[in-house]
Structure 1
């Protein structure tokens, strides 16, 4: 580690430090008669082949004024005007006034073709024309974004640009939804949007724009009108069984107010909860604490199929959401986001699990019937001021989950009933302030929250007889878990630019206090008994951290450098009052993080990053007593505190050419983790697993490579996307008291095609081919091959009518009886042009395919899940805007 630290500092010290110069290039453009030329284009770049640094357009008097920041000594100036020869010359990078005279072009223009640009670039902003990508079937902006090269909408709704998640989703420059942008993406009408903008290297905090570069992109929706008041509504009904669908979403977007309000309900298999998923990338820096719902207990659930939920999700859902932004005054926004979800789901199917142990193979077949009930209230209140001389953001989040589940499993030898109550509550406040004082920028962060979970699991009949009841059977087992967490993280620092380097020292203190109580009880008839000893927890887990971080950021020409040097002093106090067990641990850690990026041409960019981290377990990985996580999994960590020492290295290369609509990205990452604990799984003949931690040093290695390419062919109205990923995981496992090396390999290829073949036909295709291979030192496991293919054909019968055929095919090489799965949907839509009302008729699952087999694997087993699907169904709906 010392050599790595020396390398970081030596590399940084040898960087030549210099600041960016700011200059103003102004002047006037004249014709051959000394008359002013209005609308001449002035572009400034490093040389004749580099990307544009700045540009301007002459006004009605021929004048132009361009400001730019660069430390180049010379610049390349290009001035053009239709019908005149282009002027090209080198100039000095300094404040100057130019007078440029253009001469008429001697070349005769035989034919002039004016064509709107599909993708335009201005500085770091790429603007995609919505009209160029939209066709007759597209209704919401998500339908159009899916066709744009370089941009991808993943199945869960997250948007990525060049393989990385977007940082912000703006609507006319305002962040209304704070990461829950699927609500806008799936409801804003495509006809209301003029452009979709990608803001590359976007720094969302204006005050940091000249101090810290960003390697993330954001997305901005440009509407056609300054004031947009619209809404969408959908009503649908069908049968086999009785079906319904209701959706009402009024929206308003102005310069000072934005609102999206929605109510949605259906039993057609549409998972509307996806619209309120949070894809935020925090403005508050690294978050050490998580407020995501923690389920200590669970019932055994089926693996969900990898295709459209309308084919398999048996649901009854209601969602209400209110999202409102008001601009109180210039650059000061108040935002409210409140959502309530009530959802009931049913899962029916079976799971065949094959465990590969040192002594043989264990087969477990489970017939499953689950009822899942979700009640979730999410609320977020934000006050934000974002100006060039002040930044303040306070975010209060209050979330409650009141979920319950029932499960019935028939394993052949026994019938098992599971009942689960797993509520979870969180309140969380985050504050960040930045304020210039003198010549430096003062920063302050505060992150404080509280979580609570009181969960109960009952299993009938009781399990783990040998361990819990001296091999005697009993009627029921009950597990209760009560946990709470208080956490706070506060820091103060400053930022100052010295000789072109932004130096940001920060000092802070964090504390997390977790408390865990658990009781395990067995019952025989009317007699119940709480188990003591190793089946109970009363644990206090206190962790604290004092840290000092220095951050160095430097930009020079096409190079960006960033170095973080955090020094942490961590202290842990762990005590179980009931079991009379305790630990005290303190560590001084240094966790450097280094990033370099170079844009070595107008289209090519590469980056390299490396970091070293020390991660420590929390109460979920450190409790001395057993907890029944589900009916066949009993876990405890009767061991020292987990310590993971991780090295990560990453390289990426991207190419994007807006002129040819061609985007490519590839990346490779390697990580090596040294752990002090090895996790032992003891699997019984009935599949029941006891997991414990063993103190033994071991290593995990992971290699990941991916590549993506997308190209829009304007003459063919076609977007073609290709992708490939490869991952390799190497580690050790302790299974049934035998140690073995385990390798997991996954190779996957993707192909997507969106094409408007003719005026009357468009098509959409996606395909995936995947190979999974697991190698255990003492066992050979069959390789898993899967294929997924989807082909949609849209026939435009008239300007206001289309008919579509949606087909899907799935294959796996493991299932003996159900390797091939076929699906077919038919859809017809008629639009009343004057009113914009859509009438739609759908016949889903025409082939009445009633089950689907999904195959997956882990370190020592593969799982074949058969899921019961929705039957063939007819649905009629009416959609309109208001």
Structure 2
């Protein structure tokens, strides 16, 4: 059969006479043209019949078979005019002389894309997003699509916090990246990289999948010495603003040193806040955080820029060094000292809403807060593809003072709190290979103590503390000592698309709580007014982590089994409680990549949460002058069920990022808290063993788009939350629902060259329902409009305006703020001279409302007055 087909093809080909056309191709001077293209086209259809090129001597030859009387021949070559002629379909020799051709090149403008993607790395070109008014890299980050900076400086990517912040691939600041974000000049940075699916431990990179993202700062030079030095002075009253922050970045060494001080409302203490989850401590239920047992009655902070209301006097010193050593080891030292003094002036109008009646309380407040904080960390770290080692030694000391004066109309009160916190801890993590698997050892050991003392004058809660008789002063002392350790071993093994990691671990927490209440007689009150509580908690846990990765699917399943033991004993009160339980707390996470743009993630988890020592003490503790608490009840137990579903879309080439997330929570509690609201607004809280459930739902969405041609960045966001629970208020069981909505948008646009406008708005709606009664809807809205003009060489004019409106239960509140900044730059010497006036309209007070489960709190907060500053800023 095949032979017949070949025969028919040959017969068909020989049905036409074979034609040969050959010749020479040369230029007008007679020189041969090599590599010229020769095409024979069907004259009727213009289909290509035959193709050839000329040789070094300019000769060509074509053979073809076609049933046409005429054919078209086309000769073309670079730098020569194309020739097309019609020839007879017959054997012939045909020479061609080509004429020179002059090419006029059009102007070509090469523009680099502001966002590029290579694998799991998204690169943002800093110069494409920077504006003339910018100074730090944080100023530029807020314009990058997909990246969001919260009010505390935390960086989110696609709605989730980043898990690491690197500078040239090194983790200098261990989560305290505000120090770099607020002080690193954007001009020293070439790119900001988002590392998607970032596994911080290189040894686990091919074994354990991560859905988190990290941020990496790419500098322009291998050797970078940068930073800033700023000196500012002003009036109303005498103001100062000092910042000296030199930085050095090389391939083997990174140094960031900063001394900052101001009384202008700039809360630089936020630069010491840890914003990322540490890769070791995130696995532990660590008891290393300070517990504030006692406090003075505070004012609710306004929900807008701290620079308008924070009355501060702050000093900060931070030294951060990282040195790369031999064999991929790194040595890092972080030291910080903070001295912060803040004042609050204002009033509160609190409305307590119960099922049967309403209690109103009006107070004038004057508060002082003083903080001294020392933090030190020494870390040795190795993170290579063959071994992981990390050991961190931490010390923290915190000395706080709070003083408050309250005019409650019928009485004046003074409050004083002294609080200390001392902590020393060591954390260790090492991973190494044993055969074809990896062995991981984790260990955390920590000790801390928290002595605190509260004095209130005159004495409060006379019925409980002084036989219903008025008295001069009450003192509450609390001393808590804590030892905590958590140790575990795990084995990691990859089998095809699966990764298995069985883990076994042990936790131990030993705490001792001593508390005493002393009245005017200076004799400690006994009985249920004094705690001497020993708390012992141990936990043995077995966990199997199973991960599955194939194509677009990523599944993560943890199945921990925990055996917990609690031994709680207060000998003087002869109160004892022992509790043993075994729990199973599975968690399933699924990530599905629909394509290179779309991603779906879903999580289902179940976990048990048990009470801490501040949720179980058999004697009273006076928390503040309005609240006294005794929790003589079984150990609090909460069973949580959490479900979430999220969609994400990102198209870096079109600079479009969108995400939406829904969460549903259900928490079942074994205890119900009975809150007794007294006639003067004071509260007594007692726990009752009664099962109850708290429901919660939340949905949030954000879309961000950069229009490069229009030089415009647009962001829209939306959120809704609903919480429903039961409370016991004054012995009556009450169902409470809290609803809230928020809407926001942000637009950054260059109107014309040299004029930029930034507009941002936020609207919040809150509503509270007790039983079947809806309370007033609270609406809060903020609108910010900034005009930046740099049409004049070396000069920039900035006008900032802000409009705030709140509807309160007594009246509506409106505030309009206006600021002006003028900056002149000597570019050759990298010096800025800046003059600014803040709060031009001299707004003195701000009113806002906050909602709790059973109260509305209307706060009248004193603001910073009009102030003028002159600054000189040197770029290092």
TM-score bracket for the superposition, by shorter chain length: 0.7 to 0.9
Alpha-carbon offset, residue 135 of structure 1: 1.5
Alpha-carbon offset, residue 113 of structure 1: 4.4
Task: After TM superposition, list the pairs within 5 Å mapping 1:253-652 onto structure 2.
Answer: 253-284=249-280, 285-523=282-520, 527-652=521-646
Task: After TM superposition, list the pairs within 5 Å mapping 1:172-321 onto structure 2.
Answer: 172-284=168-280, 285-321=282-318
Task: Give the one of 102, 110, 113 matched to 1:114.
Answer: 110
Structure 2: distance between partners of 1:799 and 1:337: 41
Q: Which residue of the partner structure matches residue 845 of structure 2?
A: 851
Task: Give the one of 147, 153, 156 matched to 2:149.
Answer: 153
Q: Given that residues 175 and 278 in structure 2 are in contact (C-alpha distance below 8 angstroms), is that contact kept between their aligned partners in structure 1?
A: no
Q: Which residue of the partner structure matches residue 724 of structure 2?
A: 730
Q: Given that residues 459 and 473 in structure 2 are in contact (C-alpha distance below 8 angstroms), is that contact kept between their aligned partners in structure 1?
A: yes
Residue-by-residue CA offset, 1:362-405 (whole Å, 9 max, x unaligned): 00011000011010011111111001110011111111100001
Secondary structure at the counterpart of residue 244 of structure 2: strand
Residue-by-residue CA offset, 1:100-124 (whole Å, 9 max, x unaligned): xxxxxxxx99775421110000000
Structure 1: distance between partners of 2:811 and 2:718: 30
Q: Which residue of the partner structure matches residue 54 of structure 2?
A: none
Residue-by-residue CA offset, 1:580-631 (whole Å, 9 max, x unaligned): 0000110010000111101011100001111100110110101011100001
Q: Which residue of the partner structure matches residue 860 of structure 1?
A: 854
Q: Given that residues 501 and 545 in structure 2 are in contact (C-alpha distance below 8 angstroms), is that contact kept between their aligned partners in structure 1?
A: yes
Residue-by-residue CA offset, 1:815-847 (whole Å, 9 max, x unaligned): 545511111111110101211100000111100
Q: Which residue of the partner structure matches residue 743 of structure 1?
A: 737
Q: Aligned residues, how many?
A: 775
Residue-by-residue CA offset, 1:57-85 (whole Å, 9 max, x unaligned): xxxxxxxxxxxxxxxxxxxxxxxxxxxxx
Task: Give the one of 145, 150, 164 matched to 2:160.
Answer: 164
Structure 1: distance between partners of 2:299 and 2:710: 43
Q: Which residue of the partner structure matches residue 92 of structure 2?
A: none
Over the aligned positions, Cα root-mean-square deviation in angstroms equals 1.4
Structure 2: distance between partners of 1:849 and 1:126: 44
Structure 2: distance between partners of 1:225 and 1:389: 29
Q: Which residue of the partner structure matches residue 50 of structure 1?
A: none
Q: Given that residues 717 and 743 in structure 2 are in contact (C-alpha distance below 8 angstroms), is that contact kept between their aligned partners in structure 1?
A: yes
Alpha-carbon offset, residue 176 of structure 1: 0.3
Q: Given that residues 753 and 791 in structure 2 are in contact (C-alpha distance below 8 angstroms), is that contact kept between their aligned partners in structure 1?
A: no
Structure 1: distance between partners of 2:572 and 2:747: 61
Q: Given that residues 740 and 778 in structure 1 are in contact (C-alpha distance below 8 angstroms), is that contact kept between their aligned partners in structure 2?
A: no
Q: Which residue of the partner structure matches residue 129 of structure 2?
A: 133
CA pair 572-337 structure 1, distance change in 2 beyond 3 A: same
Q: Given that residues 351 and 863 in structure 1 are in contact (C-alpha distance below 8 angstroms), is that contact kept between their aligned partners in structure 2?
A: yes
Q: Given that residues 161 and 276 in structure 2 are in contact (C-alpha distance below 8 angstroms), is that contact kept between their aligned partners in structure 1?
A: no
Secondary structure at the counterpart of residue 187 of structure 2: helix
Secondary structure at the counterpart of residue 369 of structure 1: strand
Residue-by-residue CA offset, 1:432-472 (whole Å, 9 max, x unaligned): 11101111111111011111000000000001112221221
Q: Given that residues 492 and 507 in structure 1 are in contact (C-alpha distance below 8 angstroms), is that contact kept between their aligned partners in structure 2?
A: yes
Gapped runs of 5+ residues in structure 2? 1-33, 36-103
Q: Given that residues 358 and 778 in structure 1 are in contact (C-alpha distance below 8 angstroms), is that contact kept between their aligned partners in structure 2?
A: no
Residue-by-residue CA offset, 1:145-195 (whole Å, 9 max, x unaligned): 111011011110100000000011100000100000000001111110000
Q: Given that residues 797 and 803 in structure 1 are in contact (C-alpha distance below 8 angstroms), is that contact kept between their aligned partners in structure 2?
A: no
Structure 2: distance between partners of 1:388 and 1:533: 61
CA pair 330-226 structure 1, distance change in 2 beyond 3 A: farther
Q: Given that residues 813 and 848 in structure 2 are in contact (C-alpha distance below 8 angstroms), is that contact kept between their aligned partners in structure 1?
A: no
Task: Give the one of 802, 805, 810 matched to 2:799.
Answer: 805
CA pair 707-860 structure 1, distance change in 2 beyond 3 A: same
Structure 2: distance between partners of 1:145 and 1:367: 41
Structure 2: distance between partners of 1:541 and 1:799: 68
Secondary structure at the counterpart of residue 659 of structure 1: helix
Q: Given that residues 767 and 774 in structure 2 are in contact (C-alpha distance below 8 angstroms), is that contact kept between their aligned partners in structure 1?
A: no
Q: Given that residues 705 and 725 in structure 1 are in contact (C-alpha distance below 8 angstroms), is that contact kept between their aligned partners in structure 2?
A: yes
Q: Given that residues 125 and 192 in structure 2 are in contact (C-alpha distance below 8 angstroms), is that contact kept between their aligned partners in structure 1?
A: yes
Task: After TM superposition, list the pairs within 5 Å mapping 1:79-98 onto structure 2.
Answer: none
Structure 2: distance between partners of 1:605 and 1:645: 30
Residue-by-residue CA offset, 1:544-596 (whole Å, 9 max, x unaligned): 01111111011000110111010011010000011100001100100001111
Structure 1: distance between partners of 2:113 and 2:321: 34
- Report the structure number with the largest CA radius of gyration: 2
Alpha-carbon offset, residue 760 of structure 1: 2.0
Secondary structure at the counterpart of residue 136 of structure 1: coil
Secondary structure at the counterpart of residue 502 of structure 2: strand
Runs of 4+ in structure 1 over 3 Å off: 108-113, 815-818
Q: Given that residues 495 and 504 in structure 1 are in contact (C-alpha distance below 8 angstroms), is that contact kept between their aligned partners in structure 2?
A: yes
TM-score, normalising length: structure 1: 0.87
Q: Given that residues 358 and 779 in structure 1 are in contact (C-alpha distance below 8 angstroms), is that contact kept between their aligned partners in structure 2?
A: no
Residue 876 of structure 1 pairs with residue 870 of structure 2: yes
The range that moved more, 810-819 or 137-146, is 810-819
Residue 764 of structure 1 pairs with residue 764 of structure 2: no
CA pair 815-851 structure 1, distance change in 2 beyond 3 A: farther
Q: Given that residues 776 and 809 in structure 2 are in contact (C-alpha distance below 8 angstroms), is that contact kept between their aligned partners in structure 1?
A: no
Q: Given that residues 838 and 866 in structure 2 are in contact (C-alpha distance below 8 angstroms), is that contact kept between their aligned partners in structure 1?
A: yes
Alpha-carbon offset, residue 412 of structure 1: 0.2
Secondary structure at the counterpart of residue 156 of structure 1: coil
The range that moved more, 759-768 or 581-590, is 759-768
The range that moved more, 492-501 or 220-229, is 492-501
Secondary structure at the counterpart of residue 364 of structure 1: strand
Q: Which residue of the partner structure matches residue 661 of structure 1?
A: 655
Secondary structure at the counterpart of residue 263 of structure 1: strand
Secondary structure at the counterpart of residue 862 of structure 1: strand
Structure 1: distance between partners of 2:571 and 2:786: 62
Residue-by-residue CA offset, 1:697-746 (whole Å, 9 max, x unaligned): 00011101000000000011111111001110011100000001111111
TM-score, normalising length: structure 2: 0.87
Structure 2: distance between partners of 1:307 and 1:770: 13
Q: Which residue of the partner structure matches residue 833 of structure 1?
A: 827
Structure 2: distance between partners of 1:454 and 1:684: 29
Structure 1: distance between partners of 2:793 and 2:287: 51
Residue-by-residue CA offset, 1:307-363 (whole Å, 9 max, x unaligned): 222211111111000000000124211111110000111100001100001221100
Residue-by-residue CA offset, 1:642-687 (whole Å, 9 max, x unaligned): 0001110111100000110000000001111111001110010101
Q: Given that residues 192 and 216 in structure 2 are in contact (C-alpha distance below 8 angstroms), is that contact kept between their aligned partners in structure 1?
A: yes
CA pair 815-850 structure 1, distance change in 2 beyond 3 A: farther
Secondary structure at the counterpart of residue 403 of structure 1: strand
